Structure 1
Amino acid sequence: MSENAGTGRGRTDGRAARARATRAKITAAAAELFTTAGYAATSIGAIAARAGVSEQTVYYAFGTKKAVLAAALDRAVAGDDEPVPTLERPWARAALADPDPVGQIRRQVAGAGDIYLRAAPLLDAVRGAAPADPDLAEVWALNTAQRLTVQRAFTEALARKTPLRPGLTIETAADTALALQSPETYTLLVHTRSWPHTQWLTWSETTLTTLLTTLPPPP
């Protein structure tokens, strides 16, 4: 019985691994097409062809194009397909746990930078197309809400380590961080104005420290 059970588990694990690999191929193909051709112009058939699978496979794995987009965006933001929220990712946990407020800001900026290196083009495609597409508007609104939740958690942690600027509430500080570390700002400075990624990191650290705290800006 143990041999049969082991064989069964092996078959199940193999199927799960293949399904996961197929989903990864589909989301990678979709992300590429959404950022180059645009969401509206990209069909399920085009995604399937780019991924090397049938259309039915895409529908079976995701159901709708909106679901493909959501999965592609989640994968781009996280860097993998593990169902782990941003605030439970190692980089975010390290930022929250850092006793030094300057260290926290540096860690959270680095984490955001890593995300935008992967996801900024796809985020920009979603944001640009959202006004004309209710599905994308919903996806974009959810992404913005998730980013605000992360920034609020970082701001609350920061306020426990050092005073915020006089008159600055947690909510306003979180909104400020949301704007400064938004994909729109990253795209404007790095992609449009051709800042090196490292320059954006330094600017973000300095600006967040100056606008949110009474600490001197980092050297």
Structure 2
Amino acid sequence: MATPIEDDKTPARRKILTAARTLFTTAGYASTTIKAIATEAGVAVQTVYFVFGNKRSVLAALLDVSIAGDDEPIATLDRPWVAAAVAEPDPMAQLRIQVHAARLILDRVAPVLLAVRAAAGADAEVAQLWQTTCEHHETVLRHLMTALAGKVDGLDVDRCVDVGLALQSPETHALLIDERGWSATDYDGWVVGALAAAAGIGNRI
């Protein structure tokens, strides 16, 4: 017998997102049905529709929560770690703050992003979600690199953004940490060093 739709969306929402993460990152987005998500979450199919409306909305919410690390309606650029990085007067210290925070985000979101990218070729709505997420990443990185440019004369913001996007992609994170066994400390140190080189910081200190 199906369980009733829960009046309080919050417990159901968490169970559904946990189930969706498991299924999207293993079976894939296209192969995962609303029914499968409901079964994995231990809720009624109607509950998934009640809380999210459709599968694409489940995926979008999962991305948001994975990036933020919580359900708080606070944009990435308004997060404390961004403010701390921008306010830090020492350029290397700024890089360490932002790279560490970005890696913690990738720890949560990289598997989901890889599932989104895999599904984007066959689903226009998912492709748009992938594009929007990539643009969001670039916007945040550009904000941070622009702040760094105020501390390092001659820094090429576009170049640093390009390098950052390559170093902090879900593919690079998965390759080095998941497949090659790099520690989080090694990964962070490598990204900081490469970004510092791109920014020309090592030539100035």
TM-score by length of 1: 0.85
Summarize deviations over 1:55-88 as a string: whole Å, max 9, x none: 1111111111000000011111111111111111
Summarize deviations over 1:2-24 as a string: whole Å, max 9, x none: xxxxxxxxxxxxx6xx3222211
Letter in 1 for 2:201: T
2:27 match: 37
CA contact 1:95–1:108 (8 Å) conserved in 2: yes
Distance in 2 (alpha carbons) for counterparts of 1:164 and 1:80: 37
1:7 match: none
Letter in 2 for 1:136: V
**1:119-158 to 2 correspondence within 5 Å?**
119-158=109-148
CA contact 1:102–1:209 (8 Å) conserved in 2: yes
1:197 match: 184
Distance in 1 (alpha carbons) for counterparts of 2:77 and 2:57: 23
**1:109-124 to 2 correspondence within 5 Å?**
109-124=99-114
Q: Relative contact order: is structure 1 or structure 2 higher (C-alpha 8 Å, sep ≥ 6)? A: 2
Q: Which runs of 5+ in 1 are unaligned?
A: 1-14
1:217 CA displacement = 9.7
2:37 match: 47
Distance in 2 (alpha carbons) for counterparts of 1:41 and 1:155: 39
The alignment status of 1:174 with 2:161, answered yes or no, reads yes
Distance in 1 (alpha carbons) for counterparts of 2:94 and 2:159: 19
SS in 2 for 1:36: coil
Q: Which runs of 5+ in 2 are unaligned?
A: 1-6
Distance in 2 (alpha carbons) for counterparts of 1:47 and 1:92: 34
Summarize deviations over 1:140-161 as a string: whole Å, max 9, x none: 1011000000011001100011
SS in 1 for 2:89: coil
Q: Percent same amino acid at aligned positions?
A: 47
Distance in 1 (alpha carbons) for counterparts of 2:185 and 2:117: 24
The alignment status of 1:79 with 2:66, answered yes or no, reads no
Letter in 2 for 1:77: I
2:4 match: none
| Alignment size in residue pairs | 199
Summarize deviations over 1:161-201 as a string: whole Å, max 9, x none: 11244xx3x23322222222121221122122222222111
1:216 CA displacement = 5.0
Letter in 1 for 2:87: A
CA contact 2:84–2:97 (8 Å) conserved in 1: yes
Distance in 1 (alpha carbons) for counterparts of 2:20 and 2:154: 42
Letter in 1 for 2:178: H
Relative to total residues, which structure has the larger helix share, 1 or 2?
1
Letter in 2 for 1:173: C
CA contact 2:159–2:198 (8 Å) conserved in 1: no
CA contact 2:160–2:195 (8 Å) conserved in 1: no
Distance in 1 (alpha carbons) for counterparts of 2:114 and 2:164: 18
Provide runs of 4+ in structure 1 moved above 2 Å: 170-173, 213-218
Task: Identify which of 195, 198, 203 aligns with 1:208.
Answer: 195
Distance in 1 (alpha carbons) for counterparts of 2:203 and 2:158: 22
TM-score by length of 2: 0.91
Distance in 2 (alpha carbons) for counterparts of 1:187 and 1:138: 23
